[in-house]
A = this chain, B = another copy of it.
Amino acid sequence: MRKGCIQTSCGILSAASVVGKKEKDGPLGSCFDLHSADDRFGQRTWEKAEAEMQRLALNTAMAKGEIDQYAIEAIFAGDLLNQCVGAAYGLKDFDVPYFGLYGACSTAAEGLLLSSLLVSGGLIKRAAAVASSHFCTAERQYRSPIEYGGQRAPTAQWTVTGAGAFIVGEGQGAAALVKGVCPGIVVEKGVRDSANMGAAMAPATADTLLRFFDTTGKKPRDFDLIVTGDLGYEGGDILCELMALEGVDIRDVYNDCGMMIYNREVQDTHAGGSGCGCSAAVLATYLLPKLECGELRRILFLGTGAMMSPQSIQQGESIPAVAHLLCITSKEEKEWTLC
């Protein structure tokens, strides 16, 4: 049988975000905790700037939740850089067990999902999930150095300069509850265009969402919001169509962090935002506060990742993708269950 939803019993105790200037200037700008006016965060390389964002995000989440590092038993972290050096260098001074992840832009969801499972299983009391991306490190590594000024395809997305950190623990006193998770299965449908990652990721997202609905019996109308990490305008549209083909209409409750973080008309970001930091920052300080105050009551959050490398694309390979789902509710929905 194909695997579906796993029920969890835990909550998100605290969360924080750090972003760059463009994100601060966007429609959600006022939500983010910290930002750097020059995207450098006081560092001399872009890579160190990204590492610093991870450190700042976790420190801020700990401070907001008044949680000491010794109360955290595991950090799950990653980013898009080769060998995930944003996370490894940014978090190396925390005296906390460290699990490096590579889930491309699904990293925040992957970390939250594993944190939720370990806390729900009673194996640890508190875990942190951290993820980041930086426009300048990503351009240099995946495309061309920013000084080159390469032209972008209309389907291409803009890598968010941002980081998000979350601390997961027992539900009591949590800002929001994690009711269940549905881990992603890798799906690859032959898309080879690395300037259209929304198209590559949409089928994996539909796969996870359908498995979730199949195994819980829930419907899209049971949720206030179904939000994906960074499918963008192109991939978001494809997801809605793929779901409609399966008889599941999500359009009324669907949105995407990559569509929300920039102003499409004036910020010249083509198909929307992307990068591990996109969904991490938007969930941490835009969506979670809405769940905390009850403006949102039940959401499905899907981190979406495209797992190619520049080399695999050069070698003519297609793009495998994965989408991890979390069902998150407000505290008012304490009695509501998934099954």
Contacts and interface: CB of A to CB of B under 8 A. Distances in A.
Interface of A: 1-3, 6, 45, 47-48, 70, 73-74, 78, 80-85, 88-89, 91-92, 94-104, 110, 114, 117-118, 120-124, 183-188, 305, 307-312, 315, 317, 320, 322
B97 A3 contact: yes
A307 B83 contact: yes
A222 to B, nearest CB: 23
Contact of A102 (B78, B124, B308, B310): B78
The residue in A74, A83, A98, A99 that gathers the most chain B C-beta atoms within 10 A of its C-beta is: A83
The residue in A80, A310, A320 that gathers the most chain B C-beta atoms within 10 A of its C-beta is: A320
A107 to B, nearest CB: 9
The residue in A85, A97, A308, A315 that gathers the most chain B C-beta atoms within 10 A of its C-beta is: A97
A124 B122 CA distance: 14
A47 B98 contact: no
Given A70-B1, A118-B117, A100 B98 contact: no
A85 B47 contact: no
Contacts of A185: 95-98
Contact of A123 (B74, B120, B322): B120
Given A100-B102, A102-B100, A117 B110 contact: no
A102 B91 CA distance: 14
Contacts of A307: 83-85, 88, 100
A95 to B, nearest CB: 6
Given A3-B73, A98-B322, A114-B114, A85 B124 contact: no
